[in-house]
Amino acid sequence: MEERAEYNYMERVAANRLRRMAREQKVKQQKRLIVLILFLLVLIIGLLSMRAFAYADESISANRVKQYRSITIYAGDSLSSISTTYMTPEYSDPSAFVTEVAFINNMDPEAPLIPGNHLIVPFYTEAQDL
């Protein structure tokens, strides 16, 4: 009888060991799967971002440099009307240009312009044109 009890105990120990090993194996597989998914996600994001940069506006040359010029303000001028005249393709939209001009000149973008005063405006030109 005692022999049978010891045999049942050894069977339970062996069965528990097999279940624990199966659980550990399953956890390892899950970890590998998570690492693989994360790797693929990073790879896909990297490829998509490279593709986005590859198709960036190719009409804008890489050898363009930013310069500044002083302009005179005339009656009826506003920052948005000045942006239509002086904005270059490097700016995404007129509001980006207006914001930069206001920042350069230390002024509020909504402030009225005074005729006769001067503004500093940025523009881009080819490097060899310097």
* Cβ(100)–Cβ(118) below 8 Å: no
42 pLDDT more than 60: yes
The tens digit of pLDDT for each residue in 71-111 reads: 999 998 988 889 888 888 888 888 889 999 999 999 988 88
Q: Where does the chain show beta strands of DSSP type E?
A: 64-72, 118-126
For residue 34, what pLDDT band results from cuts at 50, 70 and 90?
Answer: very high
- The helix/strand/coil state of 56 is coil
Predicted local confidence at residue 32, as pLDDT: 96
113 pLDDT more than 70: yes
Q: Is the pTM of this model over 0.85?
A: no
For residue 25, what pLDDT band results from cuts at 50, 70 and 90?
Answer: very high
For residue 123, what pLDDT band results from cuts at 50, 70 and 90?
Answer: confident
Q: How far is the first Cα of the chain from the last one, in angstroms, to the nearest whole number?
A: 103
**Residue of higher predicted confidence among 100 and 128:** 100
Predicted local confidence at residue 41, as pLDDT: 93
